[in-house]
Amino acid sequence: MHMSARRAAAFTGTPAYIAKTVAVASLTAAAAVTLTLQGNLAGNIAECDATASVNKMTKVSTKPDISALDISVLDDTNVPMRKRMETYVKLLQRRLVDDIEAEENAGRTSHEPKHFTVESWTRKEGGEGTSCVIQDGEVFEKGGINVSVVYGNLPPSAIRQMSADHGGLTERVGYKIEGRDAEVDGLPFFATGISVVIHPKNPMGPTAHFNYRYFELMHPKTLKDGSPNPRYKKDEPVAWWFGGGADLTPMYLFPDDAKHFHEIHKAAADSQDAAFFPAWKRWCDNYFWLTHRGESRGIGGVFFDDLTLPSWTSNKATFIPLVDGSKNTDRQLVSAKQHDKESLFRAVRAMGDAFIPAYLPLVHKHKYDKFTSQNLEWQHLRRGRYVEFNLVYDRGTKFGLMTPGARIESILMSLPLFARWEYMEGTTGTGRQNSTAASMNDIDNQKKYPEEEMRARAAIQDVLEHPQDWLA
């Protein structure tokens, strides 16, 4: 029988955990992967991270270090967008860590303040990231704030796959990327983003998620045969786009909260282009849909991908083409505004800046709300659905998990501390309309829970099954 070192230790009297702790002292490798990049973007990049097996040792602190950042680049159009977006997401990460920590510790009963665990990593092939996690606080059950900056070579197979999801990319790329007469051996890429999931402890407080990212595909300096690439120009990408969004998942419905979250995001979007919000809200409702449950993960927000200029898309539109994630849309969504890369970056920053005022007041508002063990049970049931969405549907999570060498714990920090699944639960059971068992459970629930609780559960369940506009 095979005996690993740890197992042998466990069986021979040396506590395995002591051996393990000693081993930690000689850390030499930290697996790292782009974990803030949602969607197919993450998938494709994750693929080329497959060889990211040896990385630098991690370090731990309580705040992400922003001392090396130059804030002036944010508005400096002479600085490459890569650097500006990286600076933006790192500053936003730090702001969030500061604000969440302050919310956690304001009025905290434990005399020791609660801090984030902040771990940084670097990627051998190029790039780095910082994962900030707060867990088991008095206000926050679990919160993760990830930033990553990743670059390297995107292999032909990944470019092909990415083209399938990002229309017109192949034509845009122009190069012959595969076959015997391939001109290039993949293309350099760059990606940076911030990804956040926050689960408050109080069941009246809503869970929130947001993610903003920037992606670039670049011309290689030399072609496959070693000759200089005539198309190469420093800082001029082959393609680029922004993506992101923010969405709210309450356990109990407070319509004013839903309105507030949407209002703040709508105001931010409208400040840049009135065409953005209607498309992005709808895309959000379409994306966070649990098909097998026939319900939404949450009550909406905004979601977008492929945000780039018309001149960088294949359809040669005059204005930015907007989509809403519908499979068959009979509406043509268009922006009527002339954008440039600056205005799109401003839009992304406006959206990123909107999250704190859109969300943290809701945590604050509910952090001292009274709750019962029944409320907690319901919270755990709804958390279970969150787990289902993230593991079954979320593109970023799925592709991340399939990536050898990915930093799994950063990807899965989105999962709650607690989750619960009941068979044919009376209010949430899928297909309960056709199940006598579910109707019996519903009657049981009516005996167990006060009418107010049953009404509150039905109210949120109903809007999850029938997504609302909130601002209509």
Kindly tell me which of 99 and 388 has the beta carbon lying closer to its own copies: 388
**CA dihedral for 33, 34, 40, 45, sign (positive or negative):** negative
Helix (H, G, I), strand (E, B) or coil at 378: helix
Kindly tell me which of 204 and 239 has the beta carbon lying closer to its own copies: 204
Catalytic residues: 209
Kindly tell me which of 57 and 164 has the beta carbon lying closer to its own copies: 57
Q: Is 102 in the site for its own copies (CB under 8 A)?
A: no
- Give Dmax over CA atoms of the chain in angstroms: 78
Nearest approach, Cβ of residue 303 and its own copies (Å):
20
Q: Is 286 in the site for its own copies (CB under 8 A)?
A: no
Q: Is 20 in the site for its own copies (CB under 8 A)?
A: yes
Distance CA 55, CA 69 (A): 23
Nearest approach, Cβ of residue 469 and its own copies (Å):
6
Kindly tell me which of 214 and 261 has the beta carbon lying closer to its own copies: 261
Per CB under 8 A, which region of 159-167, 241-249, 357-365, 431-439 contacts its own copies?
A: 431-439
Kindly tell me which of 33 and 320 has the beta carbon lying closer to its own copies: 33
**Residues 321-380 interacting with its own copies (rule: CB under 8 A):** 380
Question: Which residue, 144, 148, 111, is CA-closest to 31?
Answer: 148
Cβ pair 294, 288 in contact under 8 A: no
Nearest approach, Cβ of residue 99 and its own copies (Å):
20
- Please, which residues bridge with residue 196 across strands? 145, 210
Q: Is 440 in the site for its own copies (CB under 8 A)?
A: yes
Q: Is 447 in the site for its own copies (CB under 8 A)?
A: no
Per CB under 8 A, which region of 176-184, 336-344, 358-366, 404-412 contacts its own copies?
A: 404-412
Question: Which residue, 164, 194, 160, 198, is CA-closest to 177?
Answer: 160
Distance CA 448, CA 446 (A): 6
Nearest approach, Cβ of residue 337 and its own copies (Å):
28
Cα→Cα distances 312→166, 280, 320, 338, Å: 11, 20, 10, 14
Nearest approach, Cβ of residue 92 and its own copies (Å):
20
Q: Is 407 in the site for its own copies (CB under 8 A)?
A: yes
Total number of residues shown for the chain: 472
**Residues 122-141 interacting with its own copies (rule: CB under 8 A):** 133, 135
Distance CA 245, CA 148 (A): 17
Nearest approach, Cβ of residue 401 and its own copies (Å):
4
Distance CA 407, CA 28 (A): 15
Kindly tell me which of 1 and 68 has the beta carbon lying closer to its own copies: 1
Kindly tell me which of 271 and 439 has the beta carbon lying closer to its own copies: 439
Residue 176, token pair as written in the block: 């012959």
Chosen residue from 6, 160, 172, 364 binding its own copies by CB under 8 A: 6
Q: Is 4 in the site for its own copies (CB under 8 A)?
A: yes
Amino acid of residue 172: R
Distance CA 427, CA 435 (A): 12
Q: Is 455 in the site for its own copies (CB under 8 A)?
A: yes
- Residues touching its own copies, count (CB under 8 A): 90
Q: Is 15 in the site for its own copies (CB under 8 A)?
A: yes
Q: Is 398 in the site for its own copies (CB under 8 A)?
A: yes
Angle at 217 between CA 213 and CA 221, to 5 degrees: 140
Nearest approach, Cβ of residue 6 and its own copies (Å):
5
Cβ pair 30, 50 in contact under 8 A: no
Chosen residue from 142, 262, 281, 282 binding its own copies by CB under 8 A: 142
Distance CA 298, CA 210 (A): 13
β-pairing verdict for 187-200 and 207-218:
antiparallel
Kindly tell me which of 58 and 343 has the beta carbon lying closer to its own copies: 58
What b-and-e string marks burial along 365-402, b requiring 16 or more CB atoms within 10 Å of the CB? Answer: bbbeeebeebbbbbbbbbbbbbbbbbeebbbbbbbbee
Cα→Cα distances 360→139, 355, 366, 420, Å: 11, 8, 10, 26
**Residues 144-163 interacting with its own copies (rule: CB under 8 A):** 144
**Residues 48-77 interacting with its own copies (rule: CB under 8 A):** 55, 57-60
